[in-house]
Amino acid sequence: MVEPAIRLVDLRKEFGSGDQRVVAVDGIDLDIADGEFTTLLGPSGSGKTTVLRMIAGFERPTAGRVVLGGQDVTKKAPFERDVNTVFQDYALFPHMNVAQNVDYGLRVKKVPAAQRRERVAAALATVRLEGFGGRRPNQLSGGQRQRVALARALVNRPKVLLLDEPLGALDLKLREQMQVELKAIQREVGITFVFVTHDQDEALTMSDRVVVFNQGRIEQLGTPSEVYEQPASEFVAGFVGTSNLLQGAAAAQVIGQPGVWSIRPEKIRLVPDGSARAAGGERKVALDANEVATPGTVREAVYSGSASRIVVDLDAGGELVVVRPNVTTSARDAAELRGQRVTLAWRRDHVYRVADADAE
């Protein structure tokens, strides 16, 4: 049996005591495979960063174990673990140039000078910064400083690289570019990456698996498509991307079963001026055998460039939001939908129960 790169066993972390006690991580179990890009995703205070700090050794667990490559490191200091960490603020030495920053850890380990030069050059090439060795951090862009921090972590050739929201300080366009590059670098070096973020798009873009945290516990673990397409709870449906929730009488009438059901806005087909045979009457919208349909009235339609966001009040009660790509439509087309009667349709396998009826 192949040992996972990281194994967390009944891991728990409490801060404070008595009435002031806070349970930040509440007894989680998690295996991360060697070479996997795993993202710990959740809102502020959900426990994801505390878990990362316990893996790194910066926090000591209240209970449970941290096992790296089959070795229990729960009580070991950070420098005794074969992991490196990249932080959001990069923590570069301003008085050193790029090469010296990357070289620092190797000098501390007393690696011979010739090997240091070779490994620094290789690390800078990996992060696409050849020729930048002589520059100071204040001469670099935010994205370049982030890459220097990454090179400094990679040059030590750790078994595991921990990344604590490293893209959070970048602007949107650069962050999206770095998401693609970071995944490409991980694939190239083959190191296990554990990435912490509260940004759902980051998690879905880069990860092999996503671990969704909520109130110190793991709410769902799976591939990006599993977490997005098949949310395991109402929390996951609402936090990971945008989701509609159908519940109560509306769920019973539209879905045919009680409970709380999740459907993603882009999965819904909108047909203006039509009504399906939801409550009897003539069907005017052609449906596949695997589709569900329900009529409603458009309350609002917002044009946002590549897509329009349309809010529909359902005849059955409640509302659904539809996201429709603007392939052949314009802002005027979106505005003209307001007040129109429409039919909404979606495939039965695109809706998931996220809570039972008694949880409504």
d(CA 22, CA 236): 23
| Weakest mean pLDDT among 27-36, 169-178, 255-264, 305-314 | 169-178
Beta-strand ranges (E) seen in the chain are: 6-15, 22-32, 37-41, 63-68, 71-72, 83-87, 160-164, 192-197, 209-214, 217-222, 244-246, 260-263, 269-272, 291-303, 307-314, 319-325, 341-347, 351-355
For the chain, give every domain's residue range.
6-239, 244-359
90-136: per-residue pLDDT in tens? 788 999 999 999 999 899 888 999 999 999 999 999 888 998 999 99
CATH code given to domain 6-239: 3.40.50.300
- The domain defined by 244-359 folds into OB fold (Dihydrolipoamide Acetyltransferase, E2P) (2.40.50)
With vertex at residue 168, the alpha carbon angle to CA 166 and CA 172, rounded to the nearest 5 degrees, is 120
Point out which residues pair with 314 in neighbouring strands: 296
Give me the pLDDT at residue 197, please: 93
Q: Which of 58, 91, 87 lies closest to 73, judged by CA?
A: 58
CB 148, CB 102: distance < 8 Å: yes
Could you give the angle at the alpha carbon of 257 between the alpha carbons of 256 and 260, nearest 5°? Answer: 120
Q: What is the mean pLDDT of residues 217-237?
A: 94
pLDDT in tens, 137-177: 999 988 888 889 889 998 988 999 999 988 877 788 888 88
Examine the pLDDT at 247 and tell me if it is beyond 50.
yes
- Poorest-pLDDT segment among 21-30, 74-83, 211-220, 349-358: 349-358
Mean pLDDT, residues 41-62 taken together: 95
* Residue 276 pLDDT exceeds 60: no
Does the predicted TM-score (pTM) go above 0.75?
yes
What order do you get walking across the sheet with 71-72 strand by strand?
Answer: 22-32, 6-15, 63-68, 71-72
Residue 15 confidence (pLDDT): 94
Interval 279-287 mean pLDDT? 55
Instruction: Please give the pLDDT value at position 277.
Output: 47
Q: Which two tokens stand for residue 191?
A: 């190191």
By mean pLDDT, which of 61-70, 71-80, 331-340 is the weakest? 331-340
